[in-house]
Amino acid sequence: MRLPPFTYNRPQDLDEALELLNAYGKDCKILAGGTDLLVRMKQGLVAPMNLISLKALSELAEIRETATDLKIGAAAKLSDILAYQPVQGRWPGLFESIKAIGAPSIQHFSGTIGGNLCQDNRCQFYNQSRSFRRARQTCNKAGGSTCFAWKGGSDKCHSVCQSDTAPILIAMGAKVVIKSRQETRAIPLEELYSSIGEHPLTLGDNEMLTEILVPVRAPGDGSAFEKLAYRSAIDYAVVSAGAFVQTDGNQMLKASLVIGAVARGPLTIATIEKTLEDRPVGDEQAIDEAAKEAMNAAEAFMANNMTQPVEYRTQMVSVITKRALKLATKRALSNKEVSEAK
């Protein structure tokens, strides 16, 4: 499959990259690892006139720890984040989510964390070859006016956000730094997602994600990421969940849960904080209630946008939620933070 024509730019520093981005505006895409963008270009889903490569921007590939945050450059390779010792020890949820992406031997040496967060939404009716798509009407995401994934059709796109790192990073309260030539702003990661299927990110045309800030661990907290997929490698999630809890050893002090692969953006289950707060640690009933809430919340967004049946995916939200919450709680209690390599 040939790629459509474009011009290739390889800026030598971030200022040059932002300058280019500002000049090209809409007519341009940022090329990090290319494992999402180049596939969509080959399938004729996007045809940017210009690409800006991040290859030479070593300043965007840094990973370092400060007193308040783990700072990860947006162009840091997934393999480099896995190899950074503190991540495995202190952010096991993040470690698991990165391990779950693609195939360990391949995508990780190309794929970047910024690319994983900024990947486009997916749908079984959209992410297909030209000839597959030609057999049907053009859908909302491709510029038409129908949706095949939503029962009875819809005037909105019901594609799904398939980032594996977004749920756990949002659950842990991560922030992202967004830069344009004119300004720099830091926002909570959930605000990066618009929950609009056609344009899933809130980034402006001249803006670039440059850094991810993950809060340092506090005593008694734990994180976990669970992904259910048909295959262990190169597969998108049926359902995924990122969980973050804080305990004082006896009671739950804080809990947050974000479900991935069910909605147009990562789905934060806001109610579970109240449900789990002040409940005893290990209270099975509390976990069951939280799982039910997650399932009910997810059901409202569930569309036939992946190949698996909607009913199955809905039921699995509850299962994956329980697993993630239990593992996060176990880690919070034991302080044994290193995940057993799966």
Partner 1 sequence: MSKQSLEIIVNGENYFLAVEPNCTLMELLRDDLELTGAKEGCGEGVCGSCTVLMDGKPIRSCLTLALEASGSHITTVEGLAQHGDLDPLQQAFIDHGAVQCGFCTSGMLMSAKGFLLENPHAGKKEIRNALSGHICRCTGYTKIVEAVESVVDRSQEKR
Query: Smallest distance from the beta carbon of 8 to partner 1, in angstroms?
Result: 4
Considering the rule CB under 8 A, would residue 34 count as an interface residue with partner 1?
yes
d(CA 20, CA 181): 9
Q: How many residues bind partner 1 (CB under 8 A)?
A: 31
With CB under 8 A as the contact rule, the residue among 1, 46, 186, 338 that binds partner 1 is 1
Considering the rule CB under 8 A, would residue 173 count as an interface residue with partner 1?
no
With CB under 8 A as the contact rule, the residue among 22, 53, 194, 315 that binds partner 1 is 53
Considering the rule CB under 8 A, would residue 109 count as an interface residue with partner 1?
yes
Considering the rule CB under 8 A, would residue 232 count as an interface residue with partner 1?
yes
How would you class 232 by CB atoms within 10 Å of its CB: exposed for 0-12, middle for 13-18, buried for 19 or more? exposed
Query: Smallest distance from the beta carbon of 102 to partner 1, in angstroms?
Result: 7
- Give the CA distances from residue 240 to residues 137, 214, 216, 233, in Å, rounded to whole numbers and listed in that order: 31, 20, 23, 15
With CB under 8 A as the contact rule, the residue among 7, 137, 138, 145 that binds partner 1 is 7
| Angle at CA of residue 30, ends 27 and 32, nearest 5° | 160
The one segment of 96-104, 175-183, 270-278, 317-325 that binds partner 1 by CB under 8 A:
96-104
Within 8 A by CB and 6+ apart from 17, the residues are 11, 52, 54, 57, 208
Considering the rule CB under 8 A, would residue 143 count as an interface residue with partner 1?
no
Considering the rule CB under 8 A, would residue 319 count as an interface residue with partner 1?
no
Considering the rule CB under 8 A, would residue 229 count as an interface residue with partner 1?
no
Strands, sheet with 63-65, edge to edge from the N-terminal-most edge strand: 63-65, 69-73, 208-215, 175-179, 184-188
Considering the rule CB under 8 A, would residue 102 count as an interface residue with partner 1?
yes
With CB under 8 A as the contact rule, the residue among 86, 104, 173, 282 that binds partner 1 is 104
Backbone angles phi, psi at 267, to 5 degrees: -105, 105
Considering the rule CB under 8 A, would residue 282 count as an interface residue with partner 1?
no
| Angle at CA of residue 64, ends 63 and 67, nearest 5° | 150
Nearer to partner 1, 1 or 216 (CB): 1
Structure tokens at 160: 């799904």
Residue 328 near residue 226, CB atoms below 8 Å? no
- Name the site residues for partner 1 (rule: CB under 8 A): 1-8, 10, 31, 34-35, 38-39, 42-43, 51, 53, 55, 79, 102-107, 109-110, 232-234
